[in-house]
Amino acid sequence: MAKFVIAGRADCPYYAKTELLADYLQKNLPDFRIHKITQRPEVWEDWLKDVCEKNKWSHKNSPIIWRELLDRGGKGLLLGGYNEFLEHAQLYYDVTSSMTTELMMVIAQENLGAHIQKEQEEEGLKTCINPLQVWITSASAPACYNLIPILTSGEVFGMHTEISITLFDNKQAEEYLKSLVMETQDLASPVLRSVSICTKVEEAFCQAHVIVVLDDSTDKEVFTLEDCLRSRVPLCRLYGYLIEKNAHESVRVIVGGKTFVNLKTVLLMRYAPRIAHNIIAVALGVEGEAKAILARKLKTTPSYIKDVIIWGNISGNNYVDLRKTRVYRYESAIWGPLHYSRPLLNLIFDSEWIKREFVATLKNLTATGRQFGGILAAHSIATTLKYWYHGSPPGEIVSLGILSEGQFGIPKGIVFSMPVKFENGTWVVLTDLKDTEISEQIMTRMTSDLIQEKLVALGDKIHFQPYQSEHKDLVPHEEKNPVMSDAAYFLNQIPQTTFEKPQSLEFLNGFEGKTVES
């Protein structure tokens, strides 16, 4: 069987004559097949150059004809142009063309019109299938760079869901964002419909289905904790207003990062009340840090450790609960099938290590933000989104920062990390878990700091006063394995720690357009 590929400029009269002759041959010869390719005049030369370079051919005019070697594979065999195809048809099939020049010109213009119409129809079909609109704030942050490849891999939303990504940041980041757009396009992802940037504040979150809120891109200076807390309000107020005004009614907002995650989440809920039920805070990063420390102790793999529960303030005073934690595929004298697991606390015989070194290591990581870089933040956000859309693994406990409704004795109205499972596009709080009671002292310690953060940020309280425990031990004796990162410890680090500058207003001024007053 002979298969010829005929490619040409859409308005080329010689392509028109070649095309009609090839149509005649295909109609009258059972083993003659053709495939046609047309290109707009303005892109023809670049397209032809790419084809010739790829196949190591030399050809400069329209049309170009080659034969596909269907029976042998490999690259096509170049036949040539208009004259070579006419000679081939006359020599092998005793067929020639008597088309006049005037008719050739008429058909060429018809071909051009048909080509343009086909392109418009294809674009129209694409718009009928609306992609998922994903917006990423503070897109110049390292977490965004690591998040994009995961989102475009199809692992998060699925290989059958197309996405359009919009990178949102201030005007000063525009050049970096342009290079990031080009690098994202180079991925050639089959699920990525488009990627674009936005620096105009009034256009932010337009028809967004998913909004990822990352840490603000700020310069670093030493400020008081109160200043850092209050600096979050202007940006969250602006984001809340824009989300209510521009985003899709079913938008999902996920807050990640390593600074004041709970506070930013509750502020967004306050300023975007219509979609407050669809705003969550990512806690899987702290889970990952805890699993890695435990895995190093047990000389196993972090992914084999399941059901670590993070309670409280994700980026501050929290409690890492290991009472439900289990270890799978652990190398010991006792072995079982893949689903067999053992309680972690039965494998770590050094209880003092848990009470002291484990607690101190996690406390230091939370207070300083060390190791919580772009990779961990991106992976935590992507995994949480995947669970939100497709459900969490059956039987596994997932930690998530959500608005408390009084579960587990937690005061209402604060964003608190607690155990959940994802199913049917939402989450369910695991209130039926047994043996998860938290002592009043630890609960008061966590909730006191979260309530004060909110009050100080909104100006209802002037000074932040860390909860002072009567116990001097790092771990209360009645608890087996709490892990806490005190606000007191956080405050004591002020002389040595570099805080994020409360640059929300400065950040807003970097956008084109006017800021929105509350």
Q: Residues spanned by CATH 3.90.110.10 within the chain?
A: 134-466
Retrieve residue 412's tokens: 């209402």
Query: Coil, helix or strand for 464?
Result: coil
Angstrom CA distances, 446 to 68, 241, 388, 439, 442, stand at 71, 29, 26, 11, 6
Topology (CATH) of 134-466 = L-2-Hydroxyisocaproate Dehydrogenase; Chain A, domain 2 (3.90.110)
Provide the mean pLDDT of the chain: 84
CB atoms within 10 A of CB 373: 14
pLDDT in tens, 126-158: 555 689 999 999 999 999 999 999 999 999 999
What is the distance between the terminal CA atoms of the chain, rounded to a whole angstrom? 73
Retrieve residue 276's tokens: 């407050």
pLDDT category at 191 given cuts 50, 70, 90 is: very high
Specify the pLDDT at position 192: 95
List strands edge to edge, sheet with 2-9.
Answer: 32-39, 2-9, 64-68, 77-80
Retrieve residue 241's tokens: 């207003």
Residue whose structure tokens are 């053709």:
34
Q: Is-contact 325 307, C-beta < 8 A?
A: yes
Alpha-carbon distance of 93 to 150, in angstroms, equals 55
* Mean pLDDT, range 88-98, rounded to an integer: 86
Alpha-carbon distance of 441 to 462, in angstroms, equals 24
Whether the full predicted model's pTM is greater than 0.85, yes or no, is no
* Mean pLDDT, range 75-86, rounded to an integer: 87
Q: What is the dihedral of CA 176, 144, 276, 517, to 10 degrees?
A: -20
Query: Coil, helix or strand for 35?
Result: strand
The residues pairing with 136 across neighbouring beta strands, listed in sequence order, are: 167, 212
Retrieve residue 510's tokens: 């970097």
pLDDT at residue 172 above 60? yes
Specify the pLDDT at position 466: 75
pLDDT in tens, 22-50: 998 898 888 888 999 999 999 999 999 99
356, HSE (Cβ side, Cα atoms, 13 Å): 4
Q: Is-contact 2 67, C-beta < 8 A?
A: yes
Q: Which helix (H) or strand (E) holds 342?
A: strand 341-343
The residues pairing with 249 across neighbouring beta strands, listed in sequence order, are: none
Retrieve residue 387's tokens: 């669970």
Most confident of 1-5, 121-125, 148-152, 295-299: 148-152
Specify the pLDDT at position 484: 41
Alpha-carbon distance of 516 to 169, in angstroms, equals 16
Retrieve residue 516's tokens: 């929105």
Q: Residues spanned by CATH 3.40.30.10 within the chain?
A: 1-123
pLDDT category at 499 given cuts 50, 70, 90 is: very low
Choose among 441, 330, 437, 428: nearest CA to 388: 428
Specify the pLDDT at position 512: 41
pLDDT category at 493 given cuts 50, 70, 90 is: very low
pLDDT in tens, 357-393: 888 888 777 655 555 678 999 999 999 999 999 999 9
4, HSE (Cβ side, Cα atoms, 13 Å): 24
CATH superfamily of 1-123: Glutaredoxin (3.40.30.10)
Percent of the chain with pLDDT over 90: 57
Q: 346: which DSSP letter?
A: G
**E strands present in 95-242:** 132-137, 163-168, 192-198, 210-213
Q: What are phi and psi of 420, to 5 degrees?
A: -140, 175
Alpha-carbon distance of 217 to 225, in angstroms, equals 18
**Which residues does 498 contact at the CB level (< 8 Å), separation at least 6?**
220, 221, 222
